[in-house]
């Protein structure tokens, strides 16, 4: 399994479109498509971004098909929304604290 398959599997597992994944990596959507198709080799600079984002391109996840994965993607999106809501609640609680600039996360 090559880097392109691992990238695609990671993207699908996390429910990202190619456009969303491109924004995360700060590259163009067509570049993501080229990486996933194998037309373009993933350069070291982008691989370093994976490390920063904690994406393990050496890990070989199970490949999943988009058609079979719609429910899973919806579930992941709901979990992401819930996590963001929890972070926002925590942030608001800290900001509402009278000494919020002293409160540590």
For the entire predicted model, the pTM comes to 0.52
pLDDT class for 33, splitting at 50, 70, 90?
very high
Tell the residue number behind the tokens 């982008």, with chain if given. Answer: 46
What domains can be seen in the chain, in order of their start residue?
A: 1-64 (1.10.260.40), 66-105 (no CATH)
State the burial class of residue 20 (Cβ atoms within 10 Å of its Cβ: 0-12, 13-18, 19+): middle
Q: How far apart are CA 36 and CA 41, in angstroms?
A: 9
The predicted-structure confidence for 47-74, as pLDDT tens digits, reads as follows 888 777 777 666 555 555 555 566 777 7
Q: How many CB atoms lie within 10 A of CB 14?
A: 15
The predicted-structure confidence for 7-30, as pLDDT tens digits, reads as follows 888 888 788 899 998 888 888 999
Q: What is the mean pLDDT of the chain?
A: 76
Instruction: Give the model's pLDDT for residue 30.
Output: 95
| Residue scoring higher pLDDT (95 or 11) | 11
Answer whether 36's CB lies under 8 Å from 7's CB. Answer: yes
């Amino acid at each position: 399994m090559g880097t392109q398959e691992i990238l695609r599997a990671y993207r699908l597992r996390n429910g990202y479109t190619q456009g969303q994944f491109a924004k995360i990596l700060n590259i163009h959507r067509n570049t993501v498509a080229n990486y996933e198709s194998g037309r373009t080799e993933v350069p070291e600079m982008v691989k370093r971004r994976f490390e920063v984002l904690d994406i393990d391109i050496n890990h070989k996840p199970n490949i999943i098909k988009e058609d079979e994965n719609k429910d899973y993607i919806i579930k992941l999106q709901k979990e992401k929304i819930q996590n963001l809501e929890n972070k926002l609640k925590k942030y608001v609680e800290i900001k509402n604290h009278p000494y919020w600039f002293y409160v540590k996360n």
